[in-house]
Structure 1
Amino acid sequence: MGSLTFLFSFQLMIYNAIPMCSSQYERLFNTCRLPGTETDTIQHIKDSKHIVVYHKGCYYKVWLYYDGRLLKPREIEQQMQWILDDKSEPQPGEEKLAALTAGDRVPWAKARQTYFARGKNKQSLDAVEKAAFFVTLDDTAQGYREEDPVTSMDTYAKALLHGKCYDRWFDKSFTLVVFKNAKMGLNTEHSWADAPIVGHLWENVMSSDCLELGYTEDGHCKGEAISGIPMPTRLQWEIPEECQEVIERSLAVARPLAEDVDFHSFPFDTFGKGLMKKTKTSPDAFVQLALQLAHYRDMGKFCLTYEASMTRLFREGRTETVRSCTVQSCKFVRAMDDPTESIEKKRALFKAAADNHQHLYRLAMTGSGIDRHLFCLYVVSKYLAVESPFLKEVLAEPWRLSTSQTPQQHIDLNKNPEMESSGGGFGPVADDGYGVSYIIVGDNLINFHVSSKFSCPETNSHRFGKNIKQALCDIRNLFSLGKNSTK
């Protein structure tokens, strides 16, 4: 799949954005995280000519090349249909094997060394770990349902986030999940790259599928499939009972964690960046201040807040942290719920907080943030075996509000409004906190993903979602802008 990597990198260059380091795009395919007893490693191979598909507990190796060329869409459809029609049963231990990638890392690393270092188990594991990517043909139906818009989107998101905890290979760069009603999505391992890389991949998938490839009237991929192309092969496993016990223990660790995730995915279509720009404010600053207001109303207090910022100006740049909860944002939030404060004062505090947020964002983008410098000090302190009370305290502070924006990168939504993306989400990083991901989709829509833990009595993702919607509207009202305002 190496040729596709260049395609994605080139396309990013031609849009009005600073390009990201192409090393992240290179790792998009043919990449797997490998467990270790001390530390994990990232394995990336130059090229791969196959994928691995999981369906009803069975693993299949599917070659993507034939006679020196990539398979055509109709030929890939033929391969998938063969898998769907296969009636073979999972081998002992095969069905839940991927639970090893969902549980604790050390047991997985030890099991990998003990049971997958030789013979057919090693060959099959190599096929998985060296595949271009992993595919799950899910046996559940997911997606937005008009008659049940709230629950259907929440369930859809949770299915992509963790599934059954054994039907995604969580170590692969990404798992492409295709549900039985033809809805799709991605589950992504985060260490090899950042969310915009995967978001850009998904935009390419949507645009090429709809605008270039298409389907026949009876639902098949266009084109013809030639005869003689080898069909998929079943991966062979010999998983002893003691390894099956390790698999079950990993599943017992992962399943409660997955079930504890309170995930709420929802669209906010009252307004979007079109109206926010009329306030002469950055849309991201507008949303971040709304999140501060929503969180204060939700929890009755402020908290350390993480917003991811790309350091794409630098070679191999990844992220820096924007600490969105500031003195200025707190003043604005308190003023918003103070009936004695005037609209003019609240508006001025909003502008001051938004300007400060943009300043912090620029510092983070240009390498002048603080958190990666703190991390470097931590690495040096570990290397020198120096105990630092300051680092111990500051790095132990929990991020009770962790946020991230997924950018819309190149699809022209005015020409193709049906290609609106719901973006992606993640779980909370603190047991008593929230994770919030959002994508500002065009001028009239923002899609949110809010996560927390059911086990925390103080948090509630649906309640927080309502507070976010109200906070956005309250800030809009400061500027006397209606939903369809032309001011």
Structure 2
Amino acid sequence: MIAGTILRRHCTSKTILFWRNLVSVFNAQQMKMESAFIEKDPDPTKRTFGQDDKLPSLPLPKLNETIQKYMDSCKAAVTKEDFVNTQQISENFVKNEGVQLHKSLLERSQVRRNWMDEWWTDAYLKFRGVSGNLNFTGIPVFCFWPVDASDQLKSAAWQLHFVMKYWSLLREEKLKQQKDRKGNNFSMYQFRFLFNTCRIPYKETDELFNCFKTIYEGDCPTHVIIFYHKRIYKIASISNKTGQIYTPSQFYKVVSQIVQDKESGEGISTLTELDRDTWADARSHLIELSPQNKKNIHDIDTALFCFNLSDDSPQSDTDLLRCGATLSYGNRWMDKFNYICTKNGKFVVHADHTPLDGMVFVTMMAYIEAVLQDMKKQKLLELWNADQSPVDSPVELTFVVNEKLKSWIEEASKIAENLNLNFDCNFFNFQQFGKKALKKLKNFFQIHPCGFVQICIQLAYMRKHGHPAPTYETATTRIFYRGRTETIRTCTPEVVEFCEAMISDLPNTKELFMKACKKYVWLMEECKAGRGCDRYMLGIAAIANENGEKLPEIFSDSSFEKSGGNGNFILSTSFSGYANAAGSAMPMRDDGYGAFYKINDDHMTFVITAMRSGPETDAKDMALHIGKALQDVYDLMVDYYPNL
């Protein structure tokens, strides 16, 4: 099945180079932080989406070289006996059916600027499980939060205003285009799907709905959906008087009206927690039941985004992640971008992964923090008092509900609660060292910071579980037309050899570590250039299916899944950059882990996720093993160069 061939449950795109360039701009010019995000040049080619159609097409990698990368990853993850069989199957594939399938892919790549784009989106849309296993969660870590965190409504009002400021940047195409360190433009296409977007459930395959438009393209809806006590409200975000987005005080007036309703609602949004086919049935029934229901659903589909006034008061970052990932059911719409404000004024994002990757949210959070850094107390007060004119009252979206729908809501609640009970996560701050120390390693040994961390994650896993783990790391392919991601299979034979040497305390560990790092950097650059193996393998499976051909034996070979295929990567990892935001998602497998990390100057932050149903997995213990591995590997290098 194409949807299950390669698709992971989450993938947050790399933003290392963008943030490195952004920080250098701040240091060099001492400009206001917000201005680093805003494009002031009126040249149409400088607009946010001005270069998207000019980007190079996504290249098709070569057949033989791609299968060699695949076999290399199998060699690290399977037994010698299995690998001998896999090697023979792979070589037969390259000589036989692979030739014609590659030719078909080549023909597709010559008429489509991104031969993978449609298939990749379809892989998400064909997913039939519950969205809780596919969506992702993110925490904005605002170091300069200016308001009283004990006042939920004020915090909510400020955040609604700041998110709308970000929307206005996209709407007016004033968000600066992102580039890599070589000056190559990144695709900004995903940013079109942050607002006014919804995944619509249908039997077998969902549809992706989007009605966002820039000011140069026409009008688009500007209302926001608010969830409170399992009730749903539609609010305006633009002032009828000024035509400007609501000020924080105006948003405060709106949400203050909403919280006057103390009784809980039916929890219609809980239906979105169902598996996709059942939710398709429930949604169809809901719409057919009443014209008012149909109108309400349309209002939700077309809304800018959803905002949840939560009753939870998470005290730790781990608790906040859980609030966003699994605790907010009944007060979120799983098919859209949801912004959750807790009772104690904290924030967490929960979003559908289908149209975009985590870097879209990382950029938004970084922009909001930049605005906060620029604003002094007096400016915040002036903004709060800027417009006291009346606002449109919120409109509650009430639904006609029958016993059949109530039964579905009850079923969905049980599904969501079971997922919550099964979900294990740990937010771990590694305080011993960070980017500054890793930069020294890079200068001395050409060790990439991500390579260092990835090898340590593998070492931690092998120490805890006694065997290698096929590993997924996200690489960005955004230098290409509508590019998204490629998989870096970081569990290489070189990494496994180093980890085994560390565990056995062998004398040549430093040399093996350097060898593993060199392999990582090469593989990362290959994947960023569109020359990984996973998207290609998905393409081979997809084109065989479209041609009505039998799926090649390379996909039924046991090594395919053992090396991570069909969504079976035991370690699913991603680097969220140097910004103050942390993200997470469910692990791909019940016996696996999600490992998401960001690197700050003097520390690193990890979010480790696992499932309690996994017989040997433990998120907190895995985090501790990662911490020990980081320190041990760093000490290994320092022992060779004490002045490091």
For residue 193 of structure 1, what is the aligned residue in structure 2? 356
CA distance in 1, matches of 2:352, 2:468: 30
For residue 459 of structure 1, what is the aligned residue in structure 2? 617
**Matched residue SS, 1:308:** strand
Deviations 1:183-211 (A, max 9, x none): 11211211110111111111112222343
CA distance in 1, matches of 2:627, 2:399: 50
For residue 448 of structure 1, what is the aligned residue in structure 2? 606
- 5, 13, 21: which one pairs with 2:187? 21
CA distance in 1, matches of 2:603, 2:489: 25
For residue 87 of structure 1, what is the aligned residue in structure 2? 261
Change in 2 beyond 3 A, CA 1:213/1:7: farther
TM-superposed CA distance for 1:70, in Å, is: 1.6
For residue 98 of structure 1, what is the aligned residue in structure 2? 269
Q: Is the 8 A contact 1:37 1:109 kept in 2?
A: yes
Change in 2 beyond 3 A, CA 1:252/1:214: farther
- For structure 2, the residue ranges without an aligned partner over 5 or more in a row are 1-163, 213-219
Q: Is the 8 A contact 2:226 2:309 kept in 1?
A: yes
For residue 51 of structure 1, what is the aligned residue in structure 2? 224
Change in 2 beyond 3 A, CA 1:9/1:227: closer
1:230 aligned onto 2:392: yes
For residue 161 of structure 1, what is the aligned residue in structure 2? 325
For residue 305 of structure 2, what is the aligned residue in structure 1? 133
CA distance in 1, matches of 2:378, 2:606: 31
For residue 439 of structure 1, what is the aligned residue in structure 2? 598
Q: In the alignment, residue 236 of structure 2 is paired with which amino acid?
A: W
TM-superposed CA distance for 1:18, in Å, is: 4.9
Q: Is the 8 A contact 2:178 2:188 kept in 1?
A: no
CA distance in 2, matches of 1:252, 1:30: 29
TM-score, length basis structure 1: 0.88
Matches within 5 A, 1:359-438: 359-388=522-551, 389-393=553-557, 394=560, 395-396=565-566, 398-408=568-578, 421-438=580-597
Change in 2 beyond 3 A, CA 1:454/1:166: same
CA distance in 1, matches of 2:360, 2:543: 30
CA distance in 2, matches of 1:436, 1:88: 39
**Matched residue SS, 1:444:** coil
Give the stretch that moved more between structures: 46-55 or 320-329.
46-55
Q: In the alignment, residue 436 of structure 2 is paired with which amino acid?
A: G
Change in 2 beyond 3 A, CA 1:270/1:332: same
Q: In the alignment, residue 325 of structure 2 is paired with which amino acid?
A: L
CA distance in 2, matches of 1:37, 1:127: 22
Q: In the alignment, residue 330 of structure 2 is paired with which amino acid?
A: Y
1:334 aligned onto 2:496: no
TM-superposed CA distance for 1:228, in Å, is: 2.8
Matches within 5 A, 1:111-150: 111-117=282-288, 118-143=290-315
Change in 2 beyond 3 A, CA 1:87/1:110: same
Change in 2 beyond 3 A, CA 1:252/1:287: same
Q: Is the 8 A contact 1:77 1:221 kept in 2?
A: no
Q: In the alignment, residue 24 of structure 1 is paired with which amino acid?
A: Q
Q: In the alignment, residue 44 of structure 1 is paired with which amino acid?
A: N
For residue 473 of structure 1, what is the aligned residue in structure 2? 631
For residue 146 of structure 1, what is the aligned residue in structure 2? none
Q: Is the 8 A contact 1:99 1:250 kept in 2?
A: yes
CA distance in 1, matches of 2:402, 2:596: 41
CA distance in 1, matches of 2:173, 2:428: 29
Q: Is the 8 A contact 2:254 2:391 kept in 1?
A: no
CA distance in 2, matches of 1:215, 1:34: 44
Deviations 1:147-182 (A, max 9, x none): xxxxx222111111122422221110x111001111
Deviations 1:208-259 (A, max 9, x none): 2343386889x99622443332121111211112111112112222321222
Q: Give the % identical residues.
A: 27
Q: In the alignment, residue 425 of structure 2 is paired with which amino acid?
A: F
TM-align CA RMSD: 2.3
Give the stretch that moved more between structures: 128-137 or 16-25.
16-25
- 1, 5, 10: which one pairs with 2:175? 10
For residue 406 of structure 2, what is the aligned residue in structure 1? 244
Q: Is the 8 A contact 1:13 1:19 kept in 2?
A: yes
For residue 179 of structure 1, what is the aligned residue in structure 2? 342
CA distance in 1, matches of 2:567, 2:238: 50
Q: Is the 8 A contact 1:98 1:169 kept in 2?
A: yes
Deviations 1:313-342 (A, max 9, x none): 111111100001011001110111223x22
- For structure 1, the residue ranges without an aligned partner over 5 or more in a row are 144-151, 410-420
- 88, 97, 110: which one pairs with 2:281? 110
CA distance in 1, matches of 2:184, 2:171: 17
Change in 2 beyond 3 A, CA 1:271/1:178: same
Change in 2 beyond 3 A, CA 1:100/1:214: farther
For residue 129 of structure 2, what is the aligned residue in structure 1? none
Give the stretch that moved more between structures: 162-171 or 256-265.
162-171
**Matched residue SS, 1:33:** strand
1:262 aligned onto 2:424: yes
Change in 2 beyond 3 A, CA 1:319/1:249: same
TM-superposed CA distance for 1:6, in Å, is: 5.1
Deviations 1:113-138 (A, max 9, x none): 12224511111111111110000000
Deviations 1:77-124 (A, max 9, x none): 22122222x225345x3xx22221112011111111122245111111
Higher relative contact order (CA 8 A, sep 6+): 2
For residue 414 of structure 1, what is the aligned residue in structure 2? none
Q: Is the 8 A contact 1:400 1:430 kept in 2?
A: yes
CA distance in 1, matches of 2:352, 2:190: 13
CA distance in 2, matches of 1:188, 1:165: 13
Change in 2 beyond 3 A, CA 1:23/1:374: same
Change in 2 beyond 3 A, CA 1:89/1:391: same
Q: Is the 8 A contact 2:177 2:188 kept in 1?
A: no
**Matched residue SS, 2:404:** helix
CA distance in 1, matches of 2:253, 2:350: 24
CA distance in 2, matches of 1:201, 1:226: 27
**Matched residue SS, 1:480:** helix
CA distance in 1, matches of 2:361, 2:257: 28
Higher helix share: 2
TM-superposed CA distance for 1:379, in Å, is: 0.8
CA distance in 2, matches of 1:306, 1:266: 20
CA distance in 2, matches of 1:14, 1:348: 34
Deviations 1:41-98 (A, max 9, x none): 11100322110100112111110112222212221122122222x225345x3xx222
For residue 78 of structure 1, what is the aligned residue in structure 2? 253
**Matched residue SS, 1:4:** helix
Change in 2 beyond 3 A, CA 1:247/1:397: closer
Give the stretch that moved more between structures: 1-10 or 443-452.
1-10
CA distance in 2, matches of 1:9, 1:426: 30
